[in-house]
Amino acid sequence: MTRVTAPFGRRTATVTARDEHGAYVALRCHDPGGPTPRAGQFYMLASAERWGGGDGERPFLPRAFSVLRARAGELQFLIEDVGPGTNRLSELGPGDGLAIVGPLGNGFAAPRENRLPLLVGGGVGIAPLVIWQDELGGEATALLGFRDQPHALGAALLTAATVATDDGSVGHHGLVTELLEDELDARGDEVEVYACGPPLMLEAVRELCSRHQVPAQLALESGMACGFGACFGCVVPTIDGYVRLCVDGPVLDAAKLDTALVAGAGH
């Protein structure tokens, strides 16, 4: 799939809405001059104001976020408050400025061999699957895993998703990869898997797809400082050597990986 390239430099988008989905916040922002990203691409985000911590407000590094949805002149991002940086982003509301760089990286590619797309997401990792399901026409099967009921409310962002929760409060009591194994047992020769979520979940997806000989595309996460390949902070190993996830990913073919357990993953 052809990469959509980012305009040069950082620009400021205006937040137009803040929607809550249980434990998550979806920020909508007005980006009239930016290109329309492809599903799986990401942006480096920072608050335009008060982007720092400590007594001296030492600036935070920007944070990498997959685009949740994109429409004409509008971008959406899914935020979970898990630390100082994401806390500040989740506080933003209409009228606030969001400093963005993007779209960056490579996104998802169409299924091979006329296979049907099967989406597998965990936690805030559902974000790139939302825009991908939109691009696929809203009918792709989605299997989603969450910690508990407040997090599982994020499943409403996708159409007709089957849900698993760690505590059994919603849907299947267990892991989303248990749902995936059932799907692969039933129709593995018909599907291509698209997955994003925590590293342990992605590694389990990679192993299952390898065992069933099912193609898979994994949207990985790693610590990023720049987002365009200059800092080498997101280097990950593949069977063909090391790649920079922000340039060659974040979506990688599962068959190119010995493991999806990427060092430095997290917000």
* 228 vs 30, residue with greater confidence: 30
- Specify the pLDDT at position 216: 98
Task: Tell me the average pLDDT of the chain.
Answer: 93
Higher pLDDT, 139 or 96: 96
* Structure confidence at residue 248 (pLDDT): 92
Listed residue (117, 146, 145, 144) closest to 132, CA to CA? 117
Q: Rounded to an integer, what distance in angstroms lies between the CA atom of residue 86 and that of residue 10?
A: 19
pLDDT surpasses 50 at 267: no
Burial of 78 (0-12, 13-18, 19+ CB in 10 A): buried
What pLDDT is attached to residue 1? 59
Q: At a CB cut-off of 8 Å and minimum separation 6, what does 71 contact?
A: none
Q: Which CATH architecture has domain 116-256?
A: 3-Layer(aba) Sandwich (3.40)
Please write the tens of the pLDDT for every residue from 147-170: 999 999 999 999 999 999 999 999
- Out of 68-77, 161-170, 255-264, least confident range: 255-264
What number of helices (H) and strands (E) belong to the chain? 6, 17
With CA atoms as reference, report the closest residue to 194 among 69, 185, 183. Answer: 183
Q: What pLDDT was estimated at residue 139?
A: 82
Q: What is the pLDDT of residues 166-198, one digit of tens each?
A: 999 999 999 999 999 999 999 989 999 999 999
Positive or negative torsion for Cα 14, 92, 165, 215: positive
Architecture of the 11-104 domain: Beta Barrel (2.40)
Could you give the residue range(s) of every CATH 2.40.30.10 domain in the chain? 11-104
Reported as a single tens digit per residue, the pLDDT across 112-140 is 988 999 999 999 999 999 999 999 998 89
pTM attached to this predicted model: 0.94
Sequence letter at residue 47: S
Q: Look at residue 72 and tell me whether its pLDDT is greater than 80.
A: yes
- Report the pLDDT value the prediction gives residue 112, as an integer from 0 to 100: 92
**Cβ atoms of 238 and 251 closer than 8 Å:** no
**What residue ranges of the chain are covered by domains with CATH 3.40.50.80?**
116-256
For 17-28, what is the mean pLDDT?
97
User: Can you tell me which residue has the tokens 């200059």?
Assistant: 230
